[in-house]
Structure 1
Amino acid sequence: MISGKLTKKSVQTLGTGRHGDGNGLYLVVDPSGARRWIVRLTIKGQKNRQGKPLRTDLGLGGADLVTLQEARAKALEYRRLAREGLNPRYNGPKSVPTFEEVAQQVHLDRKPTWKNEKHGQQWINTLRDYAFPLIGRLPVDKIDQPEVLSCLTPIWTEKHETAKRVRQRIRVVLDVAKSKGFRKGENPVNAIMAADVLPKVRTNAKHHPAMAFSDVPPFYQDLCSRPSMAAKALRFTCLSASRTSEVLGMRWEELDFIESIWICPEDRMKTGQEHRVPLTEEMLAILEPLKAMQSEYVFEGQKRHHPLSNMAMLMLLRRMGVEGVTVHGFRSTFRDWASEVAHAPRDVAEMSLSHRIGSAVEQAYARSDLLKKRRDLLEKWSGFVCDAVGK
């Protein structure tokens, strides 16, 4: 056992200041009462900016977590490195963080890259719910295939899409841990995938229930008779073939009434790319009267300067007695009409839905967003939708 001047009791009772244990180890008690260990070293052969021997203080952790004996052992190891001319700040033994600690840091580091706050929160929430309870407190270098499987197996068949997200996020955390020197060898997630350890799960593509395009004109006529903000937002959503979140999050500064264009910024687009939507006469007729409200959002909800709820348009459909149809489904309705009635070129129809076209290489060379052709298509769609209203 390494000895020194301090005792277990004095570590807990000494007042504010720096208290030496010997051999460069000090207990520092802050005015706040916090207690921490530091070791003062002179590193052999290294000089400071003034050309004198390099003397440095290194933290060893808080006294509530690091015991007196542990602090003495760490200080001894740091002094050994310093005598060899090695700076312990860069050459000392690294304490291996837990899986949860690395995951939380990855989440924080990637925060600027999330499409929105909700997406970023979902990333960490899936790990919180399905990984942290089982492997969160394990050091990242102790996690192998059995530990990963303990997280994935219980949800692999019943919650397959969620399980795939958990798998992908565990893999990212372990890859980052390896890049920082906390792990060695193959990522166990990759090994599990390569060995087909988990059973194959067949999933059928789920489509949003959509209204037949032949039913849209009379439905739209009914919408026009309703003065609610949800009805106006649903009319605009139907005409623009846009996503619910894009329409409800629309602000006035995104609208160019001179060029008749709505520019949805990249941070609100699912594709992560800015999208220009041509505004037809019917869309403009919906928007113009709303300027008088002087709200930050075009489609304001019950709270001032806040958008409508995500459920507002769906609940309107239910009140209208329209069952088996979702708001998102109107995008499918438009796509069917564009193909079967308007005979629109595939690229024009897909770009109208803000879908990416072709491979990554093709996208890189595609300089035009076909705005004029998309405007013509949306004008035709608007004319078709409003047919019953005209009659």
Structure 2
Amino acid sequence: MARAPSKAEKAKSQTEPGRYGLGDGLYLQITPSGTKSYIYRYKVHGRSRHMGLGSVKDMDLTEARKRAAKARLLVRDGIDPVAEKEAQKQAARQQRERTKTFAECAAVVIAKKTKVAKNAKHIAQWGSTLETYVYPVFGSQPVGTITKHDVLAVLTPIWDDKHETASRIRGRIEAVLDYAKAMGYREGDNPAEWKGNLQPILGSSDKLQRHQPSLPYVGLPLFMADLRKRDGTAALALEFAILCAARSGEVLGATWDEIDLAKKLWVIPATRMKAKREHEVPLTDAAVAVLKAAPRLTDVPYVFPATRGGKLSDMALSMLIRRMNGDEPKFVDGSTGDPIVPHGFRSTFREWAGNETKHGREVIEHALAHSLLNKVEASYHRSTLLPKRIKLMEDWAVYCARKLISESKIVSINQHIDVKTA
């Protein structure tokens, strides 16, 4: 005797629109267009409801029964499966929103401004400044986690030397974070806000002579030992800047035609100097070694080129120091405790030379390319100080390479450095 077809088999054979029971609240639904799907019908809190489980094309009956069984357990506990599914979707949506990066939000803000912009150059500057200065620091960071410390990490290194650019970048960061808050991607105050927030820290005038966070010279050998373990062009550029007591902009803009390895001399043209006067930098053996280790790219004139050619950015050096410092900075300013910045090493050099050597003030100031107050003195020494500066820079190179017996030996009456083990 032939076996009678089961309820499921009868339902699967149907072609007419309607709902066909498969048992325990599970149904096969056929729409007027012929589409077949599984649904689960239930009652919760006195209301009759149903939820879609999926298309027949995407799952078999066994899978449909498993999904219906899960929903049935929720109903038994007084939970509406449809409401629970929507809550899970909402939670997933909120999670995605919390992981929106600063760069993603910035792209939306720039796109909106592009639609209404009258000045295409201005909008292009938005993108270029964010890519150069901001994205390397926190472009890939969830926008909801960005703090004032992150914003300062971008602005502090360029606030004095590139004040106008830095001021505009601050405003652009603020606008992006305002958008993120409006969209619900972040909460709380805007860490890039100026008045009462960044203003007391940065100061409003680019003419203010602000102290750049600098490393006490007693801790320099430890820093140099760590730096020389690092690979990459940025590490070479920073080491060269320290050995030459040069500004980072002078080093990053250095070209091979300014370097005379035979004479061990680097001649920086007046057009690239802050004082608009040509500056000769004697090169120690340590500095020459750095130059010989620097990569030479075809058709790229820069001594320290970026990976894709062109000039390495200021931010590359700042980010290198930030990586060396880690989450709990150990290379900090002796007075303020602030993390050090590349430009601060000139102060480190000045303090070391003044406190620990017998080199004359005019020799030290000339090594830093500072203008002497006495113009007659400056004119006389311009051509006579190079031999003395060679000796000064050789002493500096020896100090930079000084081997430490132990970190506990790094002490100073007038200075302090955090020397926690990295």
If you compute each CA radius of gyration, which structure gives the higher value, 1 or 2?
2
**TM-score (normalised: structure 1):** 0.47
Higher relative contact order by CA 8 Å / sep ≥ 6: 1 or 2?
Answer: 2
**TM-score (normalised: structure 2):** 0.44
